[in-house]
A and B are shown apart, each in its own frame.
Chain A
Amino acid sequence: MSAVWTASRAAVKRRRLQTFVIGLVVLCSTTTVLLALALLSAASGPFDKAYAEQRGAHTVATFDTTKVSQEQLARTARQPGVETAAGPFGQTVVDIPKDWLWMAGGTLTVVGRADPAGPVDRIELLEGHWATAPGEIVVNWSAQGSPGTALLGTKLETSGGTTLTVVGFATSMSKSASAWVTPEQMAALHPSSAQMLYRFTDSSTEDRLSASLARATTGLPKESLTGAQTYLTLKQAFSALADSYLPFMTLFGILGLLVSTLIVGNVVSGAVVSGYRHIGVLKALGFTPSQVVAVYLTMLSVPAVVGCVLGTLAGNALARPILKVAFTGIDVGRASVGNISPWLSVVCLVGMPALVLLAALVPALRAHRLPAARAISAGGAPRAGRGLRVQRMLGATRLPRPVSLGLGQPFARPGRTLLTMAAIVLGVTTVTLSTGLTSTMVAYGNVGREDGGARIHVTTGGSGNDRTPSRLSDLQIEKRLRSLPGAEGVRARALSQVNMAGQTQPVFADFYRGDDSLYDHTIVKGRAPSAAGEIVAGPAFLTQRGLKLGDRVTLELNGRKITATVVGRLIEGDARALEATWRTLARLAPDAHATEYTVRLAPGADARAHAEAVAALDPGLHASVMDSGNAGTATVVTFSTVFTVLLTLVASLGVFNTVLLNIRERRRDLGMLKSIGMTPRQVVVMTVTSVAGLGAVGGLLGIPLGIVAHRLVVDNVGVVDFPASMKDVWHAPQLAAMLMAGVAIAVLGALVPARSAARMTIASVLHTE
């Protein structure tokens, strides 16, 4: 074994540059792979992790207590298939007045629970304390952050005459209730239903969940189960936005994995192939075939292990900030993003060296069988085939000879050429895809800003502890805002939860009044809502409910109903939100008023000054300049940039390595060419041309692939329905630039070795080989 070690050490020393390149390629590839894996797991993981931590309920079931007894319900917890269960908890619905806390009115589902902890659905207390005495109520806060302590002590009169005081705010990931009271208080409210919280052993799909629930509730009186909500709906809503970016994140992840694997394979196998002569010498010295393989694997394992360890460290260091930036704006609730599982590092640390060894093993085993004499002469062995015919044809063209010589070189080593080309193709695909996505996302982020004017967001009543009420009425505010100099349009907004017939969950409805110029840019199909009963919504809302333009739905708020027609499709929107005009709201809640206003400024107007002017109108008004960024844009642009940089780097290194190997193998030819008068410039031209051709072909293949990938991605972002104008981001000059990107990747990788080849002293090379 020591002979193997000596030979490996000598080989590493003699090929410092090559060893360095292999190490660097493995490093960059490992970083890319780790990022890609972190990305894939972050995009799908956060909900499940947080949900498991909170022991969230797989199914929240509601029972009619007039049909089923407490004991019967308690027994369902011991049925097969039930992992754990909590309950039964009494449950009732309490009416709330308009504008109670931050709610627009409606009802509150209240559950009687002695303890926020428990085997299922751990409730996290955000402010105050848990309800322990009669008359105390804890309200669910589902948004991010905390509502603060200012609202503690708010009272609620029930229709039965009970006074409840808010003593705490809490959050339940299972969304099992809107508020909680003690079991005793619940009994006093005379509930007619009860809640059971289940965790099932099999919770993978909606079907399994309903089967599990059916099994648990067998034997209960008919129709005693009045409702069931599975966590899958929550999960979907929770990660809707994250999921919608998954197609493109997945694509980047896959591209990263592919390019990295290809380049590592190319670099490593190239190292072994270029060492065939060396292998012959080792064999002549008396190394057994297995020892030869061992020498090569040892030689490669040094840069592989070092590169992999450093790459894993770099990946871990990079992934956290990158994921943080990328996920800003994607609501992941209380789940943490950016925690990279140590398993990913393990996968990289084991997988990358394994990949290197595998890539080395194939050619090394070929060398294993190669007779020593053949191996020794491998460099100068006669070659024949298609490559030679191509060289001939090129020699007869009018191209300068260094150029035609360079163009012919790739045909001498078709295998290596193909791998290099694949790397360039994927590199160009990535660049094309990412520039396309960036264009699309920037266009999308600019929706509503086409006129160039800034927008001021005005809210009434402030936020947090500062809740100075506005002295002005809704209409007065609108009028004042409109009359401020620089204001081109004012749009008032009221948000309400309304019930939609046939839907268990309420939907969010935005009602607008005034300036509706935004719809000129955000309606991708149909038209803007105008009359009472006309609604528009984003693609996710419509698709999830199977709605299309012209379909009718019934909306209900505080007992008033209206039949509404879908008249338009918005470019994007929450899966639970729809939009309508004030006329619709007037029918549902005649005395509702707006809580937010958007002021559209004339182009060039000073937004900050305007915001201050708005605040000066009334201390109850809070104005802020709407930031121009868009969360989705940040996500896409971040990942596009990171992966473009990484993959371009890795692809360039692959080209660099290919050129390096070619030069090493062609030292003798280069020496001869110089001896007959090839100038250093001609050497550079020849060497660069040898890969620029690959780059051009790579560009020609990579660009269409990138365009297709871009189309696939933008068509599959569920929450956004990009109009054709945002999808058609390709123009001739841009495509030409992309093609140049392919050539640039190749030239960049080739330039350094080409110049060193031009400077190479050749006097000795010509004799020794």
Chain B
Amino acid sequence: MTTDHNSARHVVVRLDGVHKEYGDAKALDGLSLEITAGDAVAVMGPSGCGKSTLLNMVAGLDRPTSGTVEVHGHDLGKLNETGLALFRRRNVGMIFQFFNLIDDLPVLDNVALAAQLTGTPARQARRRALELLDELGVAERRNNYPATLSGGERQRVAVARALMNRPALLLADEPTGALDSRSGEQVMDLLIDLNQIGQTLLIVTHDPQLATRCASRLIEVADGRVARESTLEATA
């Protein structure tokens, strides 16, 4: 949507020798990675191997102990907290396993929120939110509260929210992990559709089916580094 796929395919994400330690534990151990615009990258690996940490690095939610993280031309190590927040607003959208919607707000406001934070007036933000909800097939739930939605519906609302600010990069951490298989498939289809129109994706999962269906590249992580990389045939 935002990525212009007629231009030369440029590098959106570049990780170089990223280490992350939590006390004695090494979550990332010299991980390097490049993602180009329009890619759909799936990250797989055993539990605790550092997948979520990797995603958090790319989202600017956490800082590496050493190494550089560059996203869409920003060296995240050079940004302060506010800089990171502004970076996230414009460049990344995130989807989580447990949706992380605000229970106190109806669906429409949950989605509109992302734009309102940047100062977009409520009316305009709600209009765009409604468009997205409509595209994602949950427009009729706009006035409901998250707690009354099914898991699949909630995840679609979360996707809508992630797309509000037209991010260059969509990050998803086990987006189907909390869903039944049918809802999971719907969310997968949604991600495939987004990639088809040029959205760069970075999906963490340990569901091989999700990886193979959605991704064009598969990165396997073990013990905090890239163990294997392969290119997949899109099966959409």
Is B214 part of the binding interface, using a Cβ–Cβ cutoff of 8 Å? Answer: no
Contact B59 A675 (CB under 8 A): yes
* Given A387-B104, A677-B165, A769:B88 Cβ within 8 A: no
**Scoring A residues 588 to 612 as 1 if CB is less than 8 Å from chain B, else 0, what string do you get?**
0000000000000000000000000
Once the chains bind, are A392 and B113 in contact (CB under 8 Å)? no
A668 at the interface (CB under 8 A from B): yes
Known: A676-B114, A677-B85, A679-B81. A766 touches B96 (CB 8 A): yes
**Is A145 interfacial (CB 8 A cutoff)?**
no
**C-alpha gap A769/B98 in the complex (Å):** 8
How many residues of B sit at the interface, in one of the four size bands?
A: 35 or more
CA A669 to CA B99, docked complex, whole Å: 11
Whole-angstrom distance from the CB of A406 to the nearest CB of chain B? 12
Q: How far is the CB of B163 from chain A (nearest CB, A)?
A: 11
B97, A767: Cβ atoms under 8 Å?
yes
Contact B118 A677 (CB under 8 A): yes
What does the 1/0 interface line of A666-684 toward B look like (CB < 8 Å)?
A: 0011011111111111100
Question: How many angstroms from the CA of A277 to the CA of B105 in the assembled complex?
Answer: 22
Binds B, one of A82-90, A531-539, A696-704, A755-763: A755-763
Query: In chain A, what residue has the closest Cβ to B148?
Result: A382
Most buried by B among A391, A401, A412: A401
Contacts of A675 in B (CB 8 A): 59, 61, 88, 94, 100
Residue in A400, A405, A676 with the greatest tally of chain B CB atoms within 10 Å: A676
Contacts of B117 in A (CB 8 A): 401-402, 673, 676-678, 682
A135 at the interface (CB under 8 A from B): no
User: How close is B38's CB to chain A, nearest CB, in angstroms?
Assistant: 23
Could you say which residues of chain A place their CB within 8 Å of the CB of B104?
383, 387-388, 391, 408, 412
B229 within 8 A of A: no
| Chain B contacts with A in 119-146, Cβ cutoff 8 A | 119, 121-123, 126, 145
- State A2–B14 Cα separation when bound (angstroms): 54
Task: Tell me, rounded to whole Å, the shortest Cβ–Cβ distance linking B92 to chain A.
Answer: 8
Within the complex, the shortest CB–CB distance from B48 to chain A, in Å, comes to: 12
Q: State in angstroms the CA–CA spacing of A381 and B146 once bound together.
A: 10
Closest to B165 in A: A677
Q: Is the Cβ of B82 less than 8 Å from the Cβ of A676?
A: no
Q: Is the CB of B165 within 8 A of A381?
A: no
Q: Is B19 an interface residue (CB 8 A)?
A: no
Cα A397 to Cα B109 in complex, Å, equals 12
The answer to whether A401 and B59 touch (CB under 8 A), given A382-B148, A391-B104, A669-B102, is no
B52 within 8 A of A: yes
Q: Are B56's CB and A763's CB within 8 A?
A: yes
Is A384 close to B, CB under 8 A? yes
- Asked if A677 and B114 make an inter-chain contact with CB atoms under 8 angstroms apart, the answer reads yes
B85 touching A679, Cβ below 8 Å: yes
A405 to B164, CA, bound (A): 18
Distance in angstroms between the alpha carbons of A720 and B87 in the assembled complex: 67
Chain A residue nearest to B106 in the complex (CB): A392
With the chains together, A435 CA to B178 CA distance in Å?
58
Interface residues in A99-148 by Cβ distance below 8 A to B read: none
B22 (CB) vs chain A CBs: closest residue: A764
Task: Give the Cβ gap from B103 to chain A, nearest Cβ, in Å.
Answer: 6
- Judge if B44 is at the interface, Cβ distance under 8 Å: no
Interface membership of B225, Cβ < 8 A: no
Question: A677-B89, A763-B61, A766-B96 are known contacts. Are A398 and B102 too (CB-CB below 8 A)?
Answer: no
| With A676-B89, A766-B96 already in contact, 11 other A-B pairs whose C-beta atoms are closer than 8 Å | A392-B106, A395-B105, A395-B112, A673-B102, A674-B85, A676-B164, A679-B82, A680-B81, A763-B56, A763-B62, A767-B52
Instruction: Give chain B's interface residues, CB within 8 Å of chain A.
Output: 52-53, 56, 59, 61-62, 81-82, 85-90, 93-94, 96-98, 100-106, 109, 112-114, 116-119, 121-123, 126, 145, 147-148, 161-162, 164-165, 173
Residues of A within 8 A of B (CB): 380-384, 387-388, 391-392, 395-398, 400-402, 405, 408, 412, 668-669, 671-682, 758-759, 761-763, 766-767, 769
